Structure 1
């Protein structure tokens, strides 16, 4: 962009050049560049049947829906509700690169904090631990536990230090095997690597560690930050995991969050098995009733009492350190229920689907008289006016439930399938 054009875009006249500080002008230009850096508006251009170009406002929404549709493909597959996951973050010198904002390290740690919270929201019966790769070694930050706040507190750039040295995939796999092989067989053993380097500095043959992971039913998945590495692809293929390489910050978040829902159960884990669990009672939180809690015997005012051995634990879910009983609460089971019976994905509305649904909706109670619209179509979730199917240049996707035949906007579709886990139309009409 030329200097004159930049001055025009920033609202600066020629006569005011002497009145504006050069540093202020530079800061405004940098802010302007950051604002429009990722606005790739050419991706929204589409060509119609007559060869004319038009802007498709729904292209980004369609791309986002691919994640929902891919997750729905395994909706009726048996899931691993109890997971033991070790998250390994690459803090080698490759994490100090500036290709992500603010840098790779800051971007990765921020997304890891979001992933930890999303993981425990999707998997309340599971446990997660964190380790880091740096200087050719692997350091365990946290033990496997069910506390998201304890995990997030350790993912601080100031406490972790600066990236240094090389990354070692073999040491990460060996740590995962040593921590996960002793866990109960009914739980899913998973190792998730956030890998930023382009090479691995290992003390031996990394394929031997891959075989150890496979023998202990440990599923290894890798999220790459730089570029695809052959050894990462080999590890994931041999252990039944997934491998993806991020294109930008948004794609990295999408790849990492894809590991939040429970994965499909393997043939070795698909056999039915009853798991004995206990529902402990919460003791009073008064300071005068403080007792020694947990294996470390910490003095805490509040705790949970194991119904089998009467030992006290600080949080739920957890495994009793005395008798080994899995301790949970009833809300944990309730929050896992939607994985068993997920909401079927909505279909993008079309003229054919609208005509087929008109006969069904004619026999159902409607709110058309209460919702004032110019198009006659509205979202059943938020009652916002939506475009009719087949209209060129529509601003929002319109989707339709296959059971209740109601129309939903893109935002309500994402809310129903990601947070609510119940179709409002089916619940209202009693079809669910």
Structure 2
């Protein structure tokens, strides 16, 4: 075979490959990926008109693992000190690597989606804490939002800056974040959560010195990778006492990032007990117009600082005039459920429901659906140890890992109640 014939055969093979890519049912490669999964066929409509997955094994296993983790944390709660006031910077990698499409539709879109859910869950779990956002692109770290307690302002700022370009620089991000966290009082727990997409870091100096500065400043650094395990990220977490993990897929990434919402155990030498002055402002009338210190605008309503009579829009926050921490009594009460959690729900077997000796309720207290497992209903039910109410495992109260939010307990009404109507 001469070179001409070889070129003709190779050209024919390339044309056949191109035709195979296009002529597979008229679908492109990215369309076939969705068509092969046929995810819409794994859903069915139940008696209430809601769409539920046919195969619930993965969902039930994930819920059962969360229940075991909550049981372990409640058993160790009496021996582990946790921080009630956390100052967390979320560092989001928006370098060129964040535009990769191994996470659909892209890493950047998946990160933005779950960071929004994480911010809301963080403030639900830590009402007295604050979050700040930092982005990395073009080898430079930029502070997107300062530390604050308003989830809507953080989410709005993040959604307006979703652009990927350049390289990532962990050293610049850590230097920027440590400079802000060094000003935090000693009673605050300083944390950094890095969502890293790149496989390399473009640093202007020695990153090892930056890691030691973070360690001296008592900053706890955690990293969640979206590509592969990197030595320098693992070294940062080991030196500062943080957690390092790599996401396998989108559901795994969601699980990893939500694990950082509850407060982590406090490091012994970092835990400093201090008395903190707090003010409990009163809600102003809506028809009373005054200058708001948050937005520098004339607005109605808001809260009045009990010390300097300044007006703020949201709680919790810090007064811009006198520096007093302004909170409400529900915020303070909800912060204590990490220190004194109630006992986890007890599993109830179907035999107890079918036994004639026990007159148990036949429907879930949360969603009012049957607990006797007809059709595709789950077979696992739980009982609140305080109010003795019964719930199904797929009830929203249980799925959201809010075991302390039982609506049947009179003593826990000040906690947020999650019900199926909120979906």
TM class, shorter-length: 0.7 to 0.9
Q: Which residue, out of 389, 393, 401, partners 1:410?
A: 393
User: Are the counterparts in 2 of residues 56 and 394 from structure 1 also a CA contact under 8 Å?
Assistant: no
Establish whether residue 291 from structure 1 lines up as the match of residue 294 from structure 2: no
* Aligned CA distance change for structure 1 residues 298 and 33 (closer, same or farther; 3 Å): same
Establish whether residue 215 from structure 1 lines up as the match of residue 216 from structure 2: yes
* Aligned CA distance change for structure 1 residues 416 and 345 (closer, same or farther; 3 Å): farther
Q: Which residue, out of 361, 367, 371, partners 1:385?
A: 371
Instruction: Give the aligned partner of residue 132 of structure 2.
Output: 129
Establish whether residue 92 from structure 1 lines up as the match of residue 95 from structure 2: yes
User: Are the counterparts in 2 of residues 127 and 146 from structure 1 also a CA contact under 8 Å?
Assistant: yes
* Aligned CA distance change for structure 1 residues 212 and 397 (closer, same or farther; 3 Å): farther
User: Are the counterparts in 1 of residues 93 and 135 from structure 2 also a CA contact under 8 Å?
Assistant: yes
What are the superposed Cα offsets for residues 340-374 of structure 1, whole Å, 9 maximum, x if unpaired? 333433466679xx68x999x95x7x246xx4xxx
Secondary structure of residue in 2 paired with 1:74? helix
How much has 1:162 moved relative to structure 2? Answer: 2.7
Instruction: Give the aligned partner of residue 252 of structure 2.
Output: 251
Secondary structure of residue in 2 paired with 1:139? strand
Instruction: Give the aligned partner of residue 277 of structure 1.
Output: 278
Q: C-alpha distance in 2, partners of 1:166/1:237?
A: 24
After TM superposition, list the pairs within 5 Å mapping 1:4-23 onto structure 2: none
Query: RCO (CA 8 Å, sep 6+): is it higher in 1 or 2?
Result: 1
Establish whether residue 179 from structure 1 lines up as the match of residue 180 from structure 2: yes
After TM superposition, list the pairs within 5 Å mapping 1:260-409 onto structure 2: 260-286=261-287, 289-294=288-293, 297-346=296-345, 362=357, 366-367=359-360, 371=362, 382-386=368-372, 396-401=378-383, 403=385, 408-409=391-392
Q: C-alpha distance in 2, partners of 1:30/1:234?
A: 37
TM-score by length of 2: 0.76
Q: C-alpha distance in 2, partners of 1:338/1:27?
A: 52
* Aligned CA distance change for structure 1 residues 38 and 205 (closer, same or farther; 3 Å): farther
What are the superposed Cα offsets for residues 92-119 of structure 1, whole Å, 9 maximum, x if unpaired? 0000101111111111111111111111
* Aligned CA distance change for structure 1 residues 147 and 197 (closer, same or farther; 3 Å): same
Establish whether residue 419 from structure 1 lines up as the match of residue 419 from structure 2: no
Q: C-alpha distance in 2, partners of 1:27/1:285?
A: 57
Q: C-alpha distance in 1, partners of 2:406/2:314?
A: 33
Unpaired runs of 5+ residues, structure 2, are 1-21, 42-53, 412-423
TM-score by length of 1: 0.75
User: Are the counterparts in 2 of residues 399 and 413 from structure 1 also a CA contact under 8 Å?
Assistant: no
Establish whether residue 74 from structure 1 lines up as the match of residue 73 from structure 2: yes
Q: C-alpha distance in 1, partners of 2:314/2:56?
A: 46
Q: C-alpha distance in 2, partners of 1:38/1:249?
A: 18
Instruction: Give the aligned partner of residue 155 of structure 1.
Output: 158
After TM superposition, list the pairs within 5 Å mapping 1:186-201 onto structure 2: 186-201=187-202
* Aligned CA distance change for structure 1 residues 395 and 266 (closer, same or farther; 3 Å): same
What are the superposed Cα offsets for residues 363-405 of structure 1, whole Å, 9 maximum, x if unpaired? x7x246xx4xxxxxx65654523459xxxx9973515559578
How much has 1:64 moved relative to structure 2? Answer: 3.7
Instruction: Give the aligned partner of residue 236 of structure 1.
Output: 237
Instruction: Give the aligned partner of residue 168 of structure 1.
Output: 169
* Aligned CA distance change for structure 1 residues 403 and 32 (closer, same or farther; 3 Å): same
How much has 1:270 moved relative to structure 2? Answer: 4.0
Secondary structure of residue in 1 paired with 2:242? coil
Secondary structure of residue in 2 paired with 1:160? coil
Q: C-alpha distance in 1, partners of 2:110/2:399?
A: 28
* Aligned CA distance change for structure 1 residues 31 and 341 (closer, same or farther; 3 Å): farther
Q: C-alpha distance in 2, partners of 1:426/1:124?
A: 21
* Aligned CA distance change for structure 1 residues 68 and 139 (closer, same or farther; 3 Å): farther
* Aligned CA distance change for structure 1 residues 38 and 64 (closer, same or farther; 3 Å): farther
* Aligned CA distance change for structure 1 residues 23 and 66 (closer, same or farther; 3 Å): same
Tell me which moved more, 331-340 or 127-136: 331-340
Tell me which moved more, 306-315 or 59-68: 59-68
Q: C-alpha distance in 2, partners of 1:417/1:154?
A: 26
What are the superposed Cα offsets for residues 196-238 of structure 1, whole Å, 9 maximum, x if unpaired? 0011111111121111111111111111111111111111111
* Aligned CA distance change for structure 1 residues 249 and 350 (closer, same or farther; 3 Å): same
How much has 1:407 moved relative to structure 2? Answer: 6.3
Count of aligned pairs between the two proteins: 371
Q: C-alpha distance in 1, partners of 2:58/2:281?
A: 49
